[in-house]
Amino acid sequence: MGVFGSSLLGFLVAIAILVAVHEFGHYLVARWCGVRVLRFSIGFGPVLLRWMGKRSVFRGSEFVLSALPLGGYVRMLDSRDAELASELVRTPEAAFDRQTLWKRSLIVAAGPLANFLLAFVLYSGALAMPDRDLAPVVATPAANTPAYAAGVLGGMRILRVDGREVAHWGDIRWLLLARVFDDTLEVDVDDGGIERSFALQRSPSSSLTPEAIGARLAGWGLSFDQPAQVGTVKAGGPAARAGLETGDRVLSVDGRAVRQWSELTRAIQAAPEVALNFVIERGGTRESVVVTPRADTLAGQRIGRIDIAAAAPDTLAPGSVVNRSRSVGEALEAGALRTFDATVLTVRVLWGMVSGEISLRQVSGPIAMAEGAGATLQQGAVAFTLFLAIVSISLGVLNLLPVPMLDGGQLLYHFFEAIKGAPLSDTAQAVGQRVGIGFVIALTALALYNDILRILS
């Protein structure tokens, strides 16, 4: 299957699962509260398939699959809907708007809550799978980084980040991402059998563009202590032209000993278009290779690149990687923590966009989602599951925004109703709906613009 096919399939599967779970949350709680649900739809527009529920909680509801797979809805009996006058005569007590305020609020909130529950289930399932990653041994921090200033040394084994225990670098990468907005970080390490704690401090960032976020993740000075062993070599690149091969172990660059991949990377980046003498180990023998990095520009700086990638963990010595398996209880705990972290991060990202701390270029739409779905689908079930979890959380948080047309807007109406003692007037709700429609259209247009701009650039 090609890239386009994987993207389309991944997008359709992701949308179907996320929308079905969201709307099913509304559906189940509505039925539990005694509200009659007339239709449960995945998608909008012309109906492609339809069937009537005949058993248990599904009895009496029509289930449809519609042509436009960009959402869904649950249509409930409501006395404000003129088209349902005949249905209302039969079961007036089953109308949504005739339920108590707490029941109506619970029905509205059930959709986003279902997305958070789905994320917890997906994270728990993915994290229950055995995984393998680099051992949490830190490389020598670069000068002028918080880790270097705090006294972290290469070879120390990281035990905890902000009090969270870590097993390998996969855990560390996630925790650094979850704390991308933070300017302080607590790191506990094992230094030759002695446990030490370090407080890392960095300067705050005024604006987080996509490039700045990447720089902040790397800016702590914490990187993995991976051997300087070549994994893949890009055909036609400087390394390939010089004769470097997969499996080569770089021992020194221009007479300076190299032990870690990060040291090799820094030596290459510091010498754009400068011939470097590599001493490598290949098949048990030492050889010399002259490599001239090409010049690239990154964040406004001129750096060298030779088009190689580090060796995959599976090819490294046993002591360089960690294999981990979680029990069911551990997986559930890890799933809950990951769901909490991702929710907080999503909220902070949205707030950052409102406050101007984060560039609106971060807003992405269906094209970016399709690309992410396709890419993770090709990587395997675990990667796709993790992708679904983070998108489910994003959908849940977005729907709780206090904007009419979204679930959060309806809950805002209910909040004012609780204070006022009566529902808002039809005029006020109509104005709110127009504002909500304008917000949704503007957000959709921005997302599509960013998607198209990213593709064109």
Q: Which residue numbers are catalytic?
A: 23
Q: φ and ψ at 355, to 5 degrees?
A: -80, -10
Residue type, 53: G
Residue closest to 134 by CA, chosen among 167, 165, 109: 167
Please classify residue 427 by burial: count the beta carbons closer than 10 Å to its beta carbon, then call 0-12 exposed, 13-18 middle and 19+ buried: exposed
Pairs from 408-416 (Cβ < 8 Å, separation ≥ 24) = 408/112, 409/436, 410/108, 411/105, 411/108, 411/109, 414/101, 414/104, 414/105, 414/108
Task: Name the token pair of 413.
Answer: 């109406």
Residue closest to 156 by CA, chosen among 198, 201, 215: 198
Residue type, 204: P
Under 8 Å between Cβ of 201 and 187: no
Tell me how many degrees the CA angle 313-319-320 measures, rounded to the nearest 5: 35
Under 8 Å between Cβ of 374 and 7: yes
Task: Name the token pair of 270.
Answer: 């510091």
What are the residues whose beta carbons fall under 8 Å from the beta carbon of 324, sequence distance 6 or more?
Answer: 130, 131, 132, 167, 168
Residue located via tokens 């709680």: 29
Task: Name the token pair of 235.
Answer: 């055909």
CA dist., res. 157 & res. 137, Å (int): 4
Residue type, 449: Y
Under 8 Å between Cβ of 229 and 310: yes
What are the residues whose beta carbons fall under 8 Å from the beta carbon of 63, sequence distance 6 or more?
Answer: 39, 40, 41, 50, 51, 52, 53
CB atoms within 10 A of CB 189: 20
